[in-house]
Structure formats: structure tokens, C-alpha cells
Amino acid sequence: MGPLRGLLDFLEAEPSLSQTVAALEMGEHIQMTLPRSGWSFWIAGLARRASRPMVIVAGTAERAQLMTQDLALWLGAERIHRLPEPPALPYERAPWPPEIRAERLTALAALAGLNGDPAPVLVASIRALLLRTLPPRLFHRLRRILRVGQELPMEGFLRYLLEAGYEPVTMVTHPGQFARRGGILDLFPSTVAEPIRIEWEGDRIASMRAFDPGTQRTLRPIEQVRILPAREALPTYGPAVAERLAAWQPAVEAPAEAEALEREREALARGAPFPLLEFYLPYFYTDATTPLAYLPEDAWVFLLDEAEIRAAWEELLEEARELRARAEGAGFLPPDYPDPFVDRALWEGHLQRRPQLHLTALPETGGFSSFPIEAPPRFGGQLQRILEDFARRLHLGEAVVVVSRQAARLSAVWADHARGMEEAAQAIASLEAPPLPRRIYFLNGALSGGFLFRSKDGHRLALFTDAELFGVLRPLPWRRRMRRGPPPEWIRELREGDYVVHEDFGIGIFEGLVRLNLDGVEREYLVVRYAGNDRLYVPVDQADRVSRYVGPTDQPPEIHPLGGGDWAQARARARQAAAEVARELLELYARRETARGHAFSPDTPWQRELEASFPFIETEDQLRAIEEVKADMERPRPMDRLLCGDAGFGKTEVALRAAFKAVMDGKQVALLAPTTILAHQHYETFRARLAPFPVVVEVLTRLRSPKEQAEILRRLREGEIDILIGTHRLLQPDVVFKDLGLVIIDEEQRFGVMHKEHFKRLRAEVDVLTLTATPIPRTLYLALSGLRDISLIQTPPEERLPVQVYVGPYDDRLVRSAIMRELDRGGQVFVVYNRVHGLEAWKERLERLVPGARFGMAHGQMPPRQLEKTMMALTRGDIDVLVATDIISSGLDIPNANTMIVIRAYLFGLAQLYQ
């Protein structure tokens, strides 16, 4: 059961629940109207009362995901299954990720009753339910159970794996793969979280062990495992599809596309799996099957807002018609390509013969609810109003339950402001029994909405979530827990032709391994070729003296002559340069160690209020970084900390909290950003987050007029400005702080040498926090060697999805398709071309490709006011496609931009592409 199961006890005395159960057991179709935030509570009550399989149909994938996460809190995640939508749009040639394949198969297995749960709850969008899939008869036929000690010839089992869609590989890293090594078989079943290693003795299974795909090390023994098909498109049906497509001649223009289609046709003919196999799924089976065909006859169906579902269905059909026309125009869609969705009459037939509950949302303006539930008030992050409302409800005898990703912080803030009601609060991991009156419970979790409830026996409950408290409503990612693939170290092997460095003889070329017999002793040697075709033979037992060459550029290095003095001279110069750097660093860090900086005070109640108002849940890495920064600031020694993390991982929030802590001690803060745009974005972020507090934030960039700059500098000298954000303009001599306590440097590697010299002086005087996603090698070396403190944020936020990267030749149709796909889902697009000359021509070309889109252009040589106007228009959503240089790489936060097209990517450096 889920952590909120105690609240479901309130429903036991509700007559309307019993009446609904009775009507559904009679096979009726009934309708109920209640606030949307109470839907999951009501469905969970029905699911607990009646042990039946249930299917919940939503109009959109986001609605389905919200319902999934809600029901997991009520009923427990083990009973809830989500049928995800594939990432590919109809008629789009995009691969299905292994995790999506696995999650869909797990959901189908649950509906088919193959996971041991007689009453699974499946949540799906209408699109996920209408896609063609593997017929249930094949799904059941390809099911296998393996047990230790079972008689099972290995060769026959390998034939089964190929028939079930498993892919043979050299190393197993993802679901749906297998690898054989003699009498041992590594297998990653499609619906299991970890791969297994099976060992045979003759025709008998001797042992089975789970293993980690990253390290390939075994974890624990297992006695039994269930094997199900690896994908919905079984490759063994490919030859029939290839025969059907034999006469088709694709009308694509690019030779690379034609070659790719031909390779796919050949793979189909061989019955082999390949990444785009699901594109051909509509061809595979003669009987059109929907996931609803897996429904048991006694299953109940819940429709979440039937009007929204029908509207989504009509929109899906319209989108499919438009995408088919585009695909046929592009020449890669066969003329007889079947509709990827089943006929409407088929899926409606599956639904009509089963009991149904139609849930309708209560209008925003009010109305009659079929159930004693009301929508709660909303507070928009105003903590004082939240605390006052909680206190009022406790005085009225209500039980208050707060389900929030900020539960711990809210509990701490309540303790600071409770005024005698501290003992009424309780931080809990789960509610196993109904909450008591005049008590407030804080539980960490994500629920899409709260409600007010009055039971028939007089109990009053107020359930609040982040949606009401902070206005945050977003689904968390619903992912199968799966071990990651191997780290890159597995593929870093020395190959012939690689440049290597010998400690004593310098740079040469590795030519392989040879066995030589010298003085009657046969040994293996590494062969390294030097200038003049001289060769050095290094015994394998001395291979630690040889390492792979890693240079500053992609240009091949000059190899050294064997026995010459070049290598000795290069080493001497390197030693001298290292000594100079070491002397400089020792002076700097000796001054830091002996300097007496300002030791900041511990956190204030306002600090806790600021942190409680953060509308996201911090990752463990982010919390660790925050604590490390605070600990440094509370020491008398000046802080010099490097905070390293990817864009979007939460570095700015760490900096904001550090800045607020400094201001709470009466100190001023300077934040340096490499570009004007990023400085203004930081300014807007700081100003919005610090609005409830008496903190003055200003920005100083070239976009400010001379008069405005003079006024800002005056206020800064007199201490009227607490936080000043700007570009390198902050380093000019006329910028004077009254009492500077903290300097935050964003992307230090983008500043010039003179600016960095200024930073060096600052580090001996005030606390310095440096933020970066791509530290320069020297900075990173200082941090890793302990000369600078470092904090790493390596964990992405929970709602962060992996970036899908595609590399290929430029093609107008592909670019148009990518832009149209993003615009169709209401997003924005970046098109990056790293040359100012020619940028306008690219913009005009794209405007002809996508005539209905609104285009903008940005580069560093634009007049400042025009650039600011363009970026503000992009932020407001007035621009659909921004054609820009790498000016956008400086940490811009445009959350609605989900697609980036990089033209001539080879013109960029690795750090630029990473940004």
C-alpha cells in the first residue's frame, strides 16, 4: 500500500462509494462530477474496496503521468503500471528507447495477468492505448519461466530468444539483449530491472545470478526468472514485411537516406532487430490489436474527462493526417503503409462491454459535486498566508496533511512560527491510520492536487500539495528502476596507430604487441615507432611507463627521435613552467590561509523561509553543495570554492542562497556573468526569488544608460544595493562596494586573462564562489588536487529528461520536420550557426522552409538594445525560432525551448557543443 493509505479509511463509511462499487459490479456505465484533484482519492478508494483489474484512460500523456504518480501514493507503486507513449510521432522515423519498450511490455504483462497481481491498475493516454501492438496470443506463447535445475537445452533457448525479439550483442547493457560466452549466457529480460547471468551444465541450468550491467559483476543468486518478448515488433515477422516492400522505390533525394532504407529492408529480410524496427510495426500482424485486447473481461474502465479524451482523439487523427502527408512528400513512406492506430470502432468495442466510470471535473466557478470533496484555497508561495491558514484549521479541529517535495523545509518553517502549536506537527514517512484532529502532518511526496473533505461521521480533512502552496504542478518522471550501462572506461583500449608517450623517450606511435625470444627467454613486448622509423620494444611488465598521448588539440603531435635531446628539453621546460605556477599558487593560497576573512553567521529564519519557497525538490548533490558553501562561509578563512554541474542542474539556486546568507550579515554581493543576456537573466531570477524580503538587487551592464550607471554606482558606494549583478563592467575601477563580502563568478573560463588576474586578488580578500559547467583544465586540476575546494552537482533534477542527440548531414526536410514537431507541441526552437556573416541568410532560408513560424536573430555584434529586445521577445514566447550564434551558450534559461538544431557542428569546440 502507498504512504497515504491511512486517508482511504475515511471512505469506508461513505455510502456513495458502496453505491458506485455496486453499480460497477452490475456492469453499468456511470458518471460522477467532483474536483479534478479528488479523482485519484476516489479511484484509490474503489480499487481498495474491489479487487479488480482497472484501466484508467486520460486524454494526454501528462494527465496519465500525474494520475500514475498520485495513485502510487495511495495504493503503492507496485500495483500501478503506466503504458507510456512512444517518443516517435505517427509516421516519424525515430527509435523507441529500450526503457520505453520495457515499460510498455511490463504494462501489457500486468494486464495479461503474468506478473502475479490479480488486480493491476493500468494508466494510459488515449494515444498509448490506440497504437497497434503484439497480439495477446503471441505474448502468451512467448512467455517462459526459468528455474535453477531446470532441463533446458541452451541451443533451443537461444532460438527462442531470437524468436522473442532479443538482440545478440557482445556485452549486455540494456533490456532486450543477450550475450553468449561458452556455457554462460548473459540475458537482460525485457520486464526485469537487472540482467541475469545463466550458467549451464550440459542441458541443465546450474545457476542464475543477477549482475550489474555497469561493472558486469554479479550481485546475488536468483532461483527463478520470467522471460517475456523483448519488443512489440518481433523481428521474425520481418521477412514477410520485406517481401511486401520489395517493389517499393523510396523517393528520397539524399543518398544517405536511401542507403539507410535499403539497410533496413535487408535487416527485415534477415529477421534481425534494428533501431527503427518499430517504424514498421503496423505491417507486422494481420490482426489489428490494441493494448485494450489484453483487458480481462472483469476489468473496470475509468475515463478521465470523456470530452477531453475525445478532443485528444480528434486532434491525434488530424495530426496523423498532416504527418502522413509530410512523410509521403519526403518520400520515405511506402504508399500502402498501414494506419498506426487501430480503428475507433475496435477500441470503443473493447470499452463498451465493460463497466465504466466517467469522471467529470467540477467547473472552476463551482457546481454540484457527487462526493463531499471541495477544492482547497491556493496561496501562490505566500508563506505567511500558508501558516495562518494551517493554524486556523487546527483551531477548527481539522486534520491537516501536507504532501510536498518541500515537506522537511515546511516543517522547519512551521516550527519557527507555530507559537505554541509545535507539538501539533509531525513529519512522517507514511500515514498508516487516519490522521487525528488538530494535528498537522508533513509528508514528503508529489501529489498533483489537494482537497477538503468532510466524512459522514464528522471528520474534516484538509490535504494540501505543492500545487496549492506554491503553484507548482508537474509530473515526476515515471521510470522503471534500471541499472545503467557500462562506463566509458570499458572502451578505452589502446589500438595500433595511437600516439603514446614513454616516460624516458617521449612521443611515438604504438604498433602493437609482438613475442620475441631473447637469450632463450620468450617475452611479449609493446612496439613503439619513433622518428626515422626507429622502434622501441617495451616489455609488457614495464607497460606502466607507457601511456596514451592526450594533446591540447586534435592535431597529431610530432613524434620524437629515439635517443635525441628533444624530449629531455621538453620535460625541462615543463618542469620550469610547473615550478612557476606552483610558486604563484603557493603565494596566493598562503595569503588565503593566513588571511582573516569574515565568518558569516548561522542561518536565520528568513534564510529558511527563502529555501522553503524554492518550488523544486533539491537533489542530494545540490543539498551537499549548499551545505559545503555555507560551511565555508561560516569559517574565518576566505572561501574559494568551485561549483561544477551541468546547465539546469541547480547551480544558480546554490549561488542565490549563498548571496542571501551574505546579505543577512550586512555584506554586499557581486555576481559576474560573461554576457549581458545572462546577467539580466540572473537579475530577473534573483529579483523574483528575493521579492518577499528587504533585499535590493541591481544589474550593471552596457544596456544601462550612463545616467543609470552613475546612479547605481552611487547607491553601491553608500551601501544601498545589496546584490549587484553584471558583466566585466563590475571589474572597472569606478565600481566601489561599501562592504563586499561575496563574489560569485559564473563561467569563469569565459573571462579574459586580465579579468582572471583581478579574480586572483579577490580570492585573498573575500569569499569567492565560481560556477561552471565546463571548467578549464587548470581550474579543474587545482580543484582536484585540493588547492581549491570543489563541489560537484552530478545528479539531474527529477523532472529532467535525457537529451536525444542526432548527428547527420544537413537536409531541409529534416530541419523543417524537427521545427514543425516542436512548434506543434507548443515549444520553441534554437537554430545555431556560429558565424555572424551568413546568419541573416540562414534565417531567410528557414523562414521559407517554415513560413508560419515567427523568427528572431541574435548575435554578439547586434546593438545592445536590439539584442535585449530580441531576448525578451523570446522569453515572452513572441519568437518561435531563434537563429543565433553561440551567444546562447551562456546558461540561458528558456524552459520552453526543447529543440536545438546546430548547423555545421564541426565548427564548434567540444566545450561549446557541451554548453
Above 80 in pLDDT, residue 414?
yes
Position 589 confidence tier, pLDDT thresholds 50, 70, 90: low
- C-alpha 512/C-alpha 516 separation (Å) is 13
Which has more pLDDT, 742 or 247? 742
Position 422 confidence tier, pLDDT thresholds 50, 70, 90: low
Among 564, 580, 608, where does a domain finish? 564
| Pick from 864, 893, 896: nearest CA to 681 | 893
Q: Say if residue 763 is in the same domain as residue 632.
A: yes
Residue 889 resides in a domain? yes
pLDDT at 491: 26
Question: Residue 532 maps to which CATH number?
Answer: 2.40.10.170
Helix and strand element counts for the chain (H, E): 27, 36
Q: Say if residue 223 is in the same domain as residue 299.
A: no
Number of Cα atoms under 13 Å in the Cβ half of residue 282: 16
Highest mean pLDDT among 486-490, 612-616, 657-661, 790-794: 657-661
pLDDT at 788: 65
CB atoms within 10 A of CB 782: 20
Q: In this prediction, what percent of the chain has a pLDDT beyond 70?
A: 88
Question: E-assigned strands of 429-480?
Answer: 440-444, 451-454, 460-465
Question: Residue 713 maps to which CATH number?
Answer: 3.40.50.300
pLDDT at 106: 92
Residue 337 resides in a domain? yes
Position 179 confidence tier, pLDDT thresholds 50, 70, 90: very high
Average pLDDT rounded to a whole number, residues 852-859? 90
Above 80 in pLDDT, residue 887?
no
User: What single DSSP character describes residue 131?
Assistant: B
Average pLDDT rounded to a whole number, residues 21-27? 89
pLDDT at 826: 80
**Residue 421 corresponds to which cell in the numbers above?**
502549536
Above 70 in pLDDT, residue 802?
no
pLDDT at 709: 92
Position 483 confidence tier, pLDDT thresholds 50, 70, 90: very low
Position 480 confidence tier, pLDDT thresholds 50, 70, 90: very low
Q: Say if residue 504 is in the same domain as residue 623.
A: no
Q: Which residue has the cell 522552409?
A: 849
Mean pLDDT for the chain?
83
CB atoms within 10 A of CB 849: 16
Among 327, 361, 395, where does a domain finish? 361
User: What single DSSP character describes residue 243?
Assistant: H
Classify the C-alpha dihedral 5-7-10-15 as positive or negative.
Answer: negative
pLDDT at 486: 38
Average pLDDT rounded to a whole number, residues 123-137? 91
Average pLDDT rounded to a whole number, residues 150-179? 92
Classify the C-alpha dihedral 142-146-152-153 as positive or negative.
Answer: positive
Position 368 confidence tier, pLDDT thresholds 50, 70, 90: very low
Position 67 confidence tier, pLDDT thresholds 50, 70, 90: very high
Q: Say if residue 102 is in the same domain as residue 165.
A: no
Average pLDDT rounded to a whole number, residues 555-572? 80
Which has more pLDDT, 795 or 176? 176
Residue 575 resides in a domain? no
Above 70 in pLDDT, residue 65?
yes
Q: Tell me the residue length of the chain.
A: 915
Residue 877 resides in a domain? yes
Q: Say if residue 684 is in the same domain as residue 758.
A: yes
Q: Which residues of 197-224 are buried (b: 16+ CB within 10 A; e: fewer)?
A: bbebeeeebebbbbbebeeeeeeeebee
CB atoms within 10 A of CB 522: 8
- C-alpha 622/C-alpha 644 separation (Å) is 11
Position 865 confidence tier, pLDDT thresholds 50, 70, 90: confident
CB atoms within 10 A of CB 574: 10
pLDDT at 776: 57
Residue 577 neighbours by CB under 8 Å, 6+ apart: none
Q: Say if residue 312 is in the same domain as residue 413.
A: no
Q: Say if residue 738 is in the same domain as residue 615.
A: yes
Average pLDDT rounded to a whole number, residues 21-36? 88
Q: Say if residue 133 is in the same domain as residue 149.
A: no
Residue 569 resides in a domain? no
Q: Which residue has the cell 495477446?
A: 136
Residue 397 neighbours by CB under 8 Å, 6+ apart: 437, 438, 460
| Pick from 750, 754, 730: nearest CA to 674 | 750
Please give the residue range of the domain that contains residue 294.
Answer: 5-138+274-361
At 392, the amino acid letter reads: R
Q: Say if residue 193 is in the same domain as residue 311.
A: no
Above 90 in pLDDT, residue 408?
no
- C-alpha 623/C-alpha 654 separation (Å) is 9
Classify the C-alpha dihedral 200-201-207-211 as positive or negative.
Answer: negative
Among 758, 793, 828, where does a domain finish? 793
Average pLDDT rounded to a whole number, residues 167-196? 90
Q: Say if residue 320 is in the same domain as residue 400.
A: no
Average pLDDT rounded to a whole number, residues 877-902? 82
pLDDT at 797: 74
Above 60 in pLDDT, residue 787?
no
Range from 421-425, 429-433, 687-691, 694-698 carrying the lowest mean pLDDT: 421-425
Q: Say if residue 101 is in the same domain as residue 148.
A: no
Residue 481 resides in a domain? no
| Pick from 388, 421, 427: nearest CA to 408 | 427
- C-alpha 398/C-alpha 388 separation (Å) is 14
Tell me: the pLDDT tens digits for 273-311? 888 899 898 888 877 788 988 888 889 999 999 889 988
- C-alpha 455/C-alpha 453 separation (Å) is 6
Classify the C-alpha dihedral 632-634-639-641 as positive or negative.
Answer: positive
pLDDT at 155: 92
Q: Say if residue 38 is in the same domain as residue 111.
A: yes
Domain count of the fold of the chain:
6
At 388, the amino acid letter reads: E
Position 446 confidence tier, pLDDT thresholds 50, 70, 90: confident
Residue 285 resides in a domain? yes
pLDDT at 490: 27
Residue 11 resides in a domain? yes
**Residue 254 corresponds to which cell in the numbers above?**
539524399
Position 322 confidence tier, pLDDT thresholds 50, 70, 90: confident
Whether pTM exceeds 0.85: no
